[in-house]
Amino acid sequence: MHVPDNFLGLPDPHGTEEQARVVILPVPYEATVSYGSGTEYGPRAIISASQQVELYDREYDAEPALAYGVYTAAPLVLPAEPPQVMETIAAAVENYTRRDKLVVVLGGEHSLSLGVGRGLVRALGGPLTVVQIDAHCDLRDQYDDTPYSHACVARRLLEEPGIEQVLQLGIRSLCTEEAQFARQNPDRVRIWFAEDVHAGSWQAEFQARLRGRRVFLTLDVDGLDPAVVPATGTPEPDGLSWTETLEILRLTANTGTVVGMDCVELAPVSYLHAADFAVAKLVYKAISYAVRFGKQGA
């Protein structure tokens, strides 16, 4: 049986741009990785693995993707310099968002999230809350002599007009500068470390800070434990479980309104295709939650 080469292998009309509620935008960008490399191959690996994901979801007793539809755009062609890269990403995200599409960017390194957030704000206005699943705070002002490093993306997002706050979950690693910045900006940065999530002590405050707000969800796959996703450039032990991550995604979508998302930092390894599959399945779940399938319809 021929499987279309798109996200989830959807047949027409479910994978057409005209019919789809969701747009997958591959952004194979890698310029500032600081340990392992290979994130530029992440989008292709996620799309390929997604074609092995069952469309049927037991949580819904349905095939959600066939209801809302997913269009897979061509990989974004990017210029050489980071400021222009972010503008290119922002323009593409803004374009699809203005057409009432839920944009899901597949990266690529985490720095690209600056362009995604900028495009969402331009299309929708502010305020916008960023929910960040990650092992790292990414709050440095500069790293390796560039403010556009993947280690700086949350800091850059907070400088964007319209970005109100960044809520971070799953953090296991940060530097002194980041710890001080978070303490100095408690209204704009809230960190729930991995042990907070493990202890189940995060939900009430998270919901209070998120309720009624529009959300840009950024999912760095190193937020999950390496037992789930080992193929990432900067892995950290004691990460989020699959079940904990789904709870965060579900609560985010049910408490706020997800208006756009990205999934970044998968660095595929040829013999670790389980990681590609896990990320593809996670993206599918995140989309279904975001469109509130089974709650407000597709």
CATH of 18-290, one of 1.20.1440.230, 3.30.9.30, 3.40.800.10, 3.40.50.10330: 3.40.800.10
Look at residue 177 in the predicted model and tell me its pLDDT: 98
pLDDT tens for 220-271 read 999 999 999 999 989 999 999 999 999 999 999 999 999 999 999 999 999 8
The amino acid at residue 211 is: R
The label of the residue with tokens 């990681």 reads: 275
CA-nearest of 132, 114, 235, 247 to 182 is: 132
Q: How far apart are CA 200 and CA 81, in angstroms?
A: 42
Q: Answer whether residue 296 shows pLDDT above 50.
A: no
Q: How far apart are CA 76 and CA 102, in angstroms?
A: 17
Least confident of 31-35, 92-96, 147-151: 31-35
Give 293's pLDDT tier (boundaries 50, 70, 90): confident
Q: How far apart are CA 33 and CA 234, in angstroms?
A: 9
- Phi-psi bin for 9: left (phi > 0), alpha (psi -120 to 50), beta? left
What backbone phi and psi angles, to 5 degrees, belong to 275? Answer: -65, -45
Of all helices (H) and strands (E), which one includes residue 217?
Answer: strand 214-220
The residues near 174 (Cβ < 8 Å, ≥ 6 apart) are 136, 137, 139, 182, 191
What predicted TM-score, i.e. pTM, was given to this entire model? 0.96
pLDDT tens for 98-153 read 999 999 999 989 999 999 999 999 999 999 999 999 999 999 999 988 999 999 99
Q: Answer whether residue 289 shows pLDDT above 90.
A: yes
Residues of the chain above pLDDT 90, percent: 90
pLDDT tens for 165-211 read 999 999 999 999 999 999 999 999 999 999 999 999 899 999 999 99
Look at residue 297 in the predicted model and tell me its pLDDT: 39
Q: How far apart are CA 286 and CA 269, in angstroms?
A: 23
Q: Answer whether residue 59 shows pLDDT above 50.
A: yes
Token output for 284: 């599918």
Q: How far apart are CA 153 and CA 140, in angstroms?
A: 8
Q: How far apart are CA 206 and CA 202, in angstroms?
A: 6
Look at residue 34 in the predicted model and tell me its pLDDT: 61
Q: Answer whether residue 2 shows pLDDT above 90.
A: no
Hey, is 293 helix, strand or coil?
Answer: coil
